[in-house]
Structure 1
Amino acid sequence: MKSTKKFGINTTCVHIGEVKDEQFKGAVSPIYPSTSYAFDGVDIKRYPRYFNTPNQEMLHKKIAVLEHTEDALIFSSGMAAISAALFAFLQNGDHVIVQQVIYGGTFNFMVNEFEKFGIEYSFTESDKIEDFLPLLRPNTKVMYIETPSNPLLGITDMKAIADLSKQHQIITMIDNTFASPINQNPADFGIDIVLHSATKYMGGHSDISAGAIAASKEHIAKIWETAINYGGNLSDQTVWLLERSMKTLNLRVKEQTKNAQIMAEYLEKSEHIDAVYYPGLPSHPQYEIAKKQMKGFGAMLSFELKSHIDAMQFQRNLQLIKPSMSLAGLESTTVSPVQTTHALLSEQERLERGIKNGLIRFSVGIEEPEDLIADIELAIEKTLKK
C-alpha cells in the first residue's frame, strides 16, 4: 500500500483513520459504541476512558498524519486537551512561559488552577521571541504559544520558539486551532505538542465539541498517563461524527481561507473600520513570519469598528452573518471578545492585550463574499440610523 505520507491532503482527509467495515463492506466507518469490552484472550483491553476504542484509535491516526506527528489523542473539548497536556508536563515547583495573548479560557485555566498545584507561570509582553528570553528560569519546563492568536491574530515565530526551547530542554506547546492542520503544521518547525479545539475546523459544522493533541509517541504516552485520570475522553458517537466531518476538512478550510482574504481586504478599505487583524494582509506586523510558516492565512480575522458604531447593535443588525459564541463552522459568525471569550479577564487585562470594546472577531464561512459584504454594509447602515 502507498505510504500515507505520500497521499494528497484530500485523500488523507477521506481515507486515513477510517474504520474498515469488514463484515458488510460499507463505504463509511461503522460505530463501536460499546463501553464494555472483553478483557480475557484479547490483545488490547479496551475501555473508552483509556482512549483506545476502535473509533478513537483510528481517528488518532488521521489527526497524526494531518499534523505530521507520530501519534495523537482525541478529547471531549479543547480545554480537556490543553489541561491534560499541561498537567502531564508540569508539577509542583515547575514554571511555564506563556504567550500574552491567548484564548481566554486557557488564560483563565492557568491563573485559576496553576497556583493550587504550585505551578509558576509568566506571561510575555508580546509574541516576539525577545520577550520570552528574560522569563527563562532554571525551573521552566514548558513554553506555551498560540499562533495565530485569539482574538487579534498575532503571529509567533514557531521555529524561533522551538530553537530556544531545545537549547534549554523545554517542552513547547502550541494551540493550532485558528490555523488548522490545513494551513499550518507546527511539528515541521520543531514544536513538540500541537493542540486543537476540534470543535472548530476539524468539526466544522458547529455541532461537535472535541479537542485534540498531536505529538511524538513518547509525548503522547506521557500525556495519556495523565489524561486517563481526568475522564476527558470523547464518546464514540461523537468520534464517528468528527471523523466524518474531517473528510471535508481541506475543502472547507481552503474555501473559508480564500473568502477570509477577500473579506479582510474589503474591511481594511472601509471608512467605518479602525483596524483589521489578519495575517494575510501586508499591513499585518508579522506578515512576513506568517508567509514563512503558514500554507494559508486562515479563515479567522478581527476588526475594530470606529467609535461611532456600536459593536453590539451592529451585530444585531446582521441578517446573514450570525453573532455566535463559537467559530469555524461553514456559516460565517461574529463575536465580541469582551462579551464572550475574554469576558473572564478584567477590563485592564483586556486592554493590555489590545482587546477593545469595538473589537469583533469574524469567523468567515463558505458563503459568497459578495453576500457577506452586502450583509455588513446593510448592518452598518442600519446601525448608523439608530
Structure 2
Amino acid sequence: MKSNKKGLNTLCTHEGDLKDTKFKGVVSPLYMSTAYAFDDVDIKRYPRYFNTPNQEALCKKLAALEHAEAALIFGSGMAAISTALMAFLQAGDHIVLQQTMYGGTYHFAVTQLNKYGIEYSFTDGWQVEDFEKEIKSNTKVIYMETPSNPLLTITDIAGVAQLAKKKGLVSMIDNTFASPINQNPIDFGVDVVLHSATKYMGGHSDICAGVVAASQEHIDTVFQSAICFGGSLSEYTVWLLERSIKTMAIRVKAQSDNAQKMAEYLVGNEDVGQVYYPGLKTHPDHDLAKSQMKGFGGMLSFELPNMDISLFFKHLKLIKPVMSLAGVESTVILPVTTSHALMSPEDREKQGIKDCLVRFSLGIEEVEDLIEDLEQAIAKVKSLSVPA
C-alpha cells in the first residue's frame, strides 16, 4: 500500500505552490500589490495581516516542512522569535531560557523582557533537569535551541517538551541550525518552532526572514501580536524565499555531508583545539543527536589556540569571513566579535565560548578544496609568526 506522505524534495518543490491559473507557468506568480479590495471578497487581504497570496502559499509550504498545522513568515529571525515570545508572555510571567543560545535571543531577553515586567531565568546547562530546576509558579514558557549556536550543544527535545506539557507550559525551540530537513521538533511534542529563514531556507545569503510554525491555535495567538508588531515580509522576498526552499533539502544534505568530513579532518589537525560537531562520535551528546536528527547539519565550531585568528581569516581564499551562515558558500566568524558580541565576557565564558572559537558554516563546495584553503591559511599565519 502506497504512503500518502510526500518526500522532502517533493514537499520543498511542490507543497504550497501558488498556481498560475492565467498563463499556466510552472513558477509561482508574484503579486506585488499592497492594496486589495475589501468589498465582495472572501478574504480581506493586507500584507501586515500575513494573508497576501504569496504569503499564504509560502506559509503552507513552511507548515508542511515542519509537520505543523500552520506557520507565519516574518521579516527576520528575531522578528519571529520576539513576536512569538511576546505573544505568550505578559507582565508577571516568567520564562526559562536555555543557557547555550544565539546571542541575539540572549540580548532580547536581558534588555527587553524586564521592561514589560516579565521575569526570566537561564539554565545552568541544557539537560532536562536544568530546565526543571528553573521553573517557578509563574513560569509560562520554556525556550530551547538545539543544536545551539555556536557550540552545537544538543538538548533532549522530547524530554523538555514532555516537561513543559507536564507543567502546563508552552515549549519553544529555535530550529535554525538543524533546519526542517534534519529535525522536526513538533514530532517530539514541541509547541512552537522558530527559524531564522535567512539561513538554510534562504540558503543564498540574499534573504532576511523568520518563521514561526505551530498548531493553528498557537499560530492564532502569535498572529494577534504579529499584526501589532508589524514584522511582515515584502512580497518579493516572500517569492524569493519560496523559490529558494525548492532546493533546501539538496543543499542541506550536501552541507551536512561536508560538515561531517570537515569535522573529522579538524579533529586530526594538530593546529586545531576542540572541535564541536554532533556528528562526531566523541561529541558528548552524539547518541542523543542521532536519535532526534536525520542529519547532523552543516554547522560546526572549532578552536584555534595560539593563533592570530584575524590574520588567519585574512589569508583564507575560498572560505569567506562574513556575518550570518548557511549559504551555499562556506563562511566563518569569530562569535566573540559577531554573533555573541552583545553578551558580556563573563556570560560568554559561562557558555564556554572562548576568544579563539571559530564558527564554521559549510557550503556546497568540494570539501577537499575547503581543507586545502584552511591548511594554506594556517601555514601562512604560522610562517608569519616565526621569529626572524
User: TM class by shorter-chain length?
Assistant: over 0.9
User: What stretches of structure 2 of length at least 5 have no aligned partner?
Assistant: none
Aligned to 1:379: 377
Q: Is the 8 A contact 1:17 1:61 kept in 2?
A: yes
**1:328: Cα distance to partner?**
0.1
SS in 2 for 1:97: strand
Q: Give the letter for the 1:275 counterpart.
A: Q
Aligned to 1:345: 343
Cα distance in 2 for residues equivalent to 1:154 and 1:288? 12
Aligned to 2:331: 333
Aligned to 1:121: 120
**1:385: Cα distance to partner?**
1.4
SS in 2 for 1:241: helix
Cα distance in 1 for residues equivalent to 2:119 and 2:282? 36
Aligned to 2:236: 237
Cα distance in 2 for residues equivalent to 1:329 and 1:31? 24
SS in 2 for 1:110: helix
After superposition, the C-alpha distances for 1:231-285 in whole angstroms (9 at most, x for unaligned) are 1000010000000000000000001100100000000111011100000001111
TM-score, normalised by the number of residues in structure 2 = 0.98
- Stretch of structure 1 that moved more, 312-321 or 152-161: 312-321
Aligned to 2:363: 365
Cα distance in 1 for residues equivalent to 2:305 and 2:99? 25
Aligned to 1:248: 247
Q: Is the 8 A contact 1:311 1:359 kept in 2?
A: no
Q: Give the letter for the 1:179 counterpart.
A: A
SS in 2 for 1:303: strand
Q: Give the letter for the 1:379 counterpart.
A: A
Q: Give the letter for the 1:10 counterpart.
A: N
1:116-155 equivalences under 5 Å are: 116-155=115-154
Q: Is the 8 A contact 1:204 1:330 kept in 2?
A: yes
1:21-170 equivalences under 5 Å are: 21-170=20-169
After superposition, the C-alpha distances for 1:197-227 in whole angstroms (9 at most, x for unaligned) are 0000000000000000110000000100110
Q: Which runs of 4+ in 1 moved over 4 A?
A: none
Q: 2:354 aligns with which of 353, 356, 361?
A: 356
SS in 2 for 1:111: helix
Aligned to 2:196: 197
Q: Give the letter for the 2:168 counterpart.
A: Q
The total of aligned residue pairs comes to 383
SS in 1 for 2:153: coil
Cα distance in 2 for residues equivalent to 1:84 and 1:281? 35
**1:133: Cα distance to partner?**
1.5
Aligned to 1:321: 319
**1:29: Cα distance to partner?**
0.4
Q: Is the 8 A contact 1:332 1:366 kept in 2?
A: yes
Q: Give the letter for the 1:350 counterpart.
A: R
Q: Give the letter for the 1:43 counterpart.
A: D
Q: Is the 8 A contact 1:322 1:334 kept in 2?
A: yes
Cα distance in 2 for residues equivalent to 1:346 and 1:135? 22
Q: Give the letter for the 2:73 counterpart.
A: I
SS in 1 for 2:336: coil
**1:313: Cα distance to partner?**
1.2
**1:93: Cα distance to partner?**
0.3
**1:306: Cα distance to partner?**
2.0
Q: Give the letter for the 1:49 counterpart.
A: R
RMSD: 0.9
**1:311: Cα distance to partner?**
1.5
Cα distance in 2 for residues equivalent to 1:74 and 1:103? 20
- Stretch of structure 1 that moved more, 130-139 or 142-151: 130-139
Q: Give the letter for the 2:47 counterpart.
A: P
After superposition, the C-alpha distances for 1:94-149 in whole angstroms (9 at most, x for unaligned) are 00000001100000001000000000000001111121121111110000000000
User: What stretches of structure 1 of length at least 5 have no aligned partner?
Assistant: none
Q: Give the letter for the 2:288 counterpart.
A: I
- Stretch of structure 1 that moved more, 215-224 or 125-134: 125-134
- Stretch of structure 1 that moved more, 344-353 or 248-257: 344-353
Q: Give the letter for the 1:186 counterpart.
A: P
